[in-house]
Structure 1
Amino acid sequence: MEQRLPNWLKQRAYLTPERKAVIFENETLTFHDLFQKAVDLAAKITSYSISKGDTVGIMLSNHIDTFSVIHAQQQTGAKTLFLNLRLTPSELAWQLQDANAKLLIADAESLGKLKEIQNECPELTCISLSELIDSPKSAFEPEEEFSLDSICSLMYTSGTTGRPKGVKQTYGNHWWSASGSSLNLGLSEKDVWGCTVPLFHISGFSILMRSVIYGMPVRLFSKFDVEAINQCLIQGEITILSVVTSMLQRLLADLNDQEYHEQFRCMLLGGGPAPLTVLEQCRDKGIPVFQTYGMTETSSQIVTLAPEDSIRKLGSAGKPLFPCQVKIMKDQEDAPPNVEGEIVVKGPNVTHGYLNRDDANKESFHNGWFKTGDIGYLDEDGFVYVLDRRSDLIISGGENIYPAEIENVLLSHPDVSDAGVKGMDDPQWGEVPHAFVVSNQDLTEHELLDYCRRNLAKYKLPKKIHFVNELPRNASNKLLRRQLPGLISEVK
């Protein structure tokens, strides 16, 4: 039987109309204001022949108008395709075509990419945010209810091979993600969730969704401004903040001898476990760090480690949220404690599948369980330890980078005969990609990087290209990425 809930924003505006919804720079919207603005924008979006079930792409940076546009899309019943602003026009065009988007809305920062996208997607209507705001309204009535089975959002995540996959996130996925988080962290009438991460990432979008479900204000930042964020934390203007390790380290360095307000109650840390020195600093300053493990496919966190266990269970991601389950599979069987295998998860916040990818769905989903592709183990107390994020995933400043995607671009160059990419330690970003390339031509690093820039987002560009004689491969000709760093001494 289909489960339905009242339109979330409409219900929230009815229940707590004067409660703050979003605070951005010097502007604040209550939930009543946000609903009125969302309905107004929805009437303008539908004037572009957008109706329930259609897909609308957005290329919008963190801004109060972005909040309104996202909620406006939900009023229309359209699916929102969240596009990473850092991708190239070619990468963006492919996602728009794969998702069969009918409309693309871009802010001023992304207008330079629209022409190239339009060339590759001639059937796509592309408009700027300012054009949308000035558009005429069509006759329109907001959705009365949301079906928990309906797709709310689409986000693309890179695969270990080939093209990225579109993750289908339903209203039910987001509902249970928010519910599971609240059961773990609790709620307070004083809560304000600080959002410094991009809204086009699941980490950012999940904050927006929790805001309307909880009735909690979000203090939205256009970028990661260390001084401004620390001042908010010191003055008690934020009670929960989502970060990755590199962000937390920068906050601690700027904080010096100061301390956060007593109302600050949760530093939600994703993107891998924090070093012991960072956790000890946080403990000494009374900063509660909740380490998490999650992904786009789980609509944000699915495993969380509470502060009281952060030192005792150093390196662990924690235990699953209340509605979720985690197990380790090895040789198609449940692995016993402390035995490494693939991390497999289950829960109502887990996606129902990938868009247009029957092959990936058959590979990844079995009897309600999702195979993450990550390697880890459970200790005797049931705590999850993640050893290898999606095999060779590189996490650089909180961004996921898959070596295969960079390798495919390198191998498309006519003078490259073989290529491998490996994440290397970096003091600023945690990890950065290094490329190992075999070429029989007089190809320079500068030439190859210029080629990559035309096909890859800036954050995916190799930090360094090493030219070598050959790459390590096993008997099946599979690239042994873990051996690539050993080739640096052999660089030509």
Structure 2
Amino acid sequence: MNLVPNFLLKRASLTPNRIAIEMDQQKLTFAQLNQRSLDIASKLYANGVRAGDAISVFMKNSMEMAILLFALKHIGAITVLHNLRLTPNELAFQLKNSRSKLLVTDAEKVNPLLKVLVEEEGGIISMDALSQWEAGPFPLVEEFQLDLVDTIMYTSGTTGHPKGVKQTYGNHFWSASGSALNLGLYEKDAWLATVPLFHISGLSILMRGVIYGMRVVLHEKFDAEKVNEDIMSKGVTIVSVVSTMLQQLLDELGEKTYPGTFRCMLAGGGPIPLPVLKECEKKGIPVFQTYGMTETCSQIVTLSPEAALLKIGSAGKALFSCQVKIVDENKEVPAGQAGEIVVKGPNVTPGYFHNEEATTRAIKDGWLHTGDIGYLDEDGFLYVLDRRNDLIISGGENVYPAEIEAVLLEHPSIGDAGVAPMEDDRWGQVPVAFVVLKNLDVSEDEIVDFASQRLARYKVPKKILKVTELPRNAANKLVRRRLMEYMPKPGSTRSHDHED
């Protein structure tokens, strides 16, 4: 049994007076963060929360959310993190699937969410109300078992229903270690978290802060002006972004440049366009491009700034403790040949929560089969050609066509549906739906309204195109890559007739 000291307990004993989290005008030292999380843990335990219980968190970025996350670790409960953009139906599925005992949310969300839990056994409470609960003694988890599940995050599955990705204490520890071995670690480092804590990109920053003893500057949401202001005035040295965020930061920055103390723009969510990379080079902004996913507990492959313009489009090389290879039919292929990206390392998930079938499909002989297509060049640099086969990345959010198609097919007038990405200046990509109607006609607005009630806003198709047939292969599988051929030419109002 591999054990390590409770992350926050250890950090609070090592550097109690260092600032742990800073948000607006609030600051908490590691000692204060630990004490406040202990207080919340005592209230949770006194009201029935036990080690191994799944507790759902549906909150915006805040000091209170950070305190709650560490309080749950003090008890040994499993934290289930939910995307704030989920619809009630989507949230209800995740609550039921995770068997959550309690949902903790922001005060203003309690009443709108009550109907989600009508048929669930679990309760719902705001963080404000939770803080008023009676406290009591509890058995503090002083050591973490590295292979125990710490957090669960849901990722949309290619067959429709989302899957709960298990992240162990060991996954988080090794993710932090691999990042530090790659980026280095300096005494005055401060990592700005403007990405949501319910995403692995945000949560990993919080975990690294405690493991490293590093200050985290927390924002409720992304605001380019505020991010640039804090880089200039608060000694921020590292920021995690996606491509669209980086472009907005550059636009807002104008002719100004960042201080010399800023050392890393960690960019995920797809390759950075060449013009943006050149602008960053001109301004002396070091961009580290990455490839990672919820299943790898954040980054697993990273491209350093010195290689950024030499290896355009590459995600880089596997981190120190990690491995990556390309396979076709489960056989490794030579450099330059495309195939499925498979990864291995101590930061890789052990599987999916309450879903052994999905776990068995994804993990074979210790290697995680990502479903992404790519290749390694002769120097060992990874190039991602197709994110999880049909994945659409819209504003840094993962959007799976199959999930949208499943919702559209619930509509009584839709007989068949296919979803593909369309390039978008603001979001990078947006989903477009192609539908085959049954006998009854239905308007585009009606279909959009139907989807909006069942899907998070970023998943709702931005266009609905009516066609007579969808492209399918001999096995009757939808060939999504051909869907965009069905887009009407400018000025055309006819639906595309498939003749194959």
TM-score range relative to shorter protein: over 0.9
User: 2 CA distance for matches of 1:361 and 1:63?
Assistant: 33
Tell me if 1:446 matches 2:453. no
2:176 aligned partner, one-letter code: A
1:133 corresponds in structure 2 to 131
Deviation at 1:470, TM superposition (A): 1.2
Please list, as runs of the form range in 1=range in 2, the aligned pairs for 1:15-414 lying within 5 A after superposition.
Answer: 15-121=14-120, 123-235=121-233, 237-414=235-412
Is the 1:236–1:264 Cα contact (8 Å) retained in structure 2?
no
1:4 corresponds in structure 2 to 3
Tell me if 1:457 matches 2:456. yes
Identity %: 55
Is the 1:420–1:484 Cα contact (8 Å) retained in structure 2?
yes
Q: Which moved more, 1:191-200 or 1:356-365?
A: 356-365
1:207-262 Cα shifts (integer Å, max 9, x gaps): 01000000001000011111111111223521000000000000000101000010
Deviation at 1:109, TM superposition (A): 4.4
1:465 aligned partner, one-letter code: I
Q: Which moved more, 1:400-409 or 1:155-164?
A: 155-164
Q: TM-score by structure 2 length?
A: 0.97
User: 2 CA distance for matches of 1:468 and 1:345?
Assistant: 39
User: 1 CA distance for matches of 2:105 and 2:232?
Assistant: 35
1:491 corresponds in structure 2 to 495
2:362 aligned partner, one-letter code: S
Deviation at 1:452, TM superposition (A): 0.8
2:491 corresponds in structure 1 to none
Unaligned runs of 5+ in 2: 489-493
User: 2 CA distance for matches of 1:52 and 1:468?
Assistant: 53
Is the 1:233–1:260 Cα contact (8 Å) retained in structure 2?
yes
Is the 2:8–2:210 Cα contact (8 Å) retained in structure 1?
yes
1:179 aligned partner, one-letter code: S
1:97 aligned partner, one-letter code: K
Q: Secondary structure at the match of 1:318?
A: strand
User: 1 CA distance for matches of 2:156 and 2:330?
Assistant: 25
Q: Which moved more, 1:459-468 or 1:300-309?
A: 459-468
Is the 2:46–2:138 Cα contact (8 Å) retained in structure 1?
no
Is the 1:235–1:261 Cα contact (8 Å) retained in structure 2?
no
Please list, as runs of the form range in 1=range in 2, the aligned pairs for 1:417-428 lying within 5 A after superposition.
Answer: 417-428=415-426
Deviation at 1:472, TM superposition (A): 1.0
Deviation at 1:7, TM superposition (A): 1.0
1:17-70 Cα shifts (integer Å, max 9, x gaps): 000000001100000000000000111111221111111000010011111010
Deviation at 1:170, TM superposition (A): 0.3
Deviation at 1:173, TM superposition (A): 0.3
1:60 aligned partner, one-letter code: M
Structural RMSD (CA): 1.0
Deviation at 1:153, TM superposition (A): 0.2
Unaligned runs of 5+ in 1: none
Q: Secondary structure at the match of 2:285?
A: coil
User: 1 CA distance for matches of 2:441 and 2:117?
Assistant: 36
User: 2 CA distance for matches of 1:465 and 1:391?
Assistant: 22
Deviation at 1:101, TM superposition (A): 0.8
Is the 1:236–1:262 Cα contact (8 Å) retained in structure 2?
no
Deviation at 1:474, TM superposition (A): 1.1
Deviation at 1:181, TM superposition (A): 0.2
Deviation at 1:395, TM superposition (A): 0.4
Q: TM-score by structure 1 length?
A: 0.98
User: 2 CA distance for matches of 1:208 and 1:391?
Assistant: 30
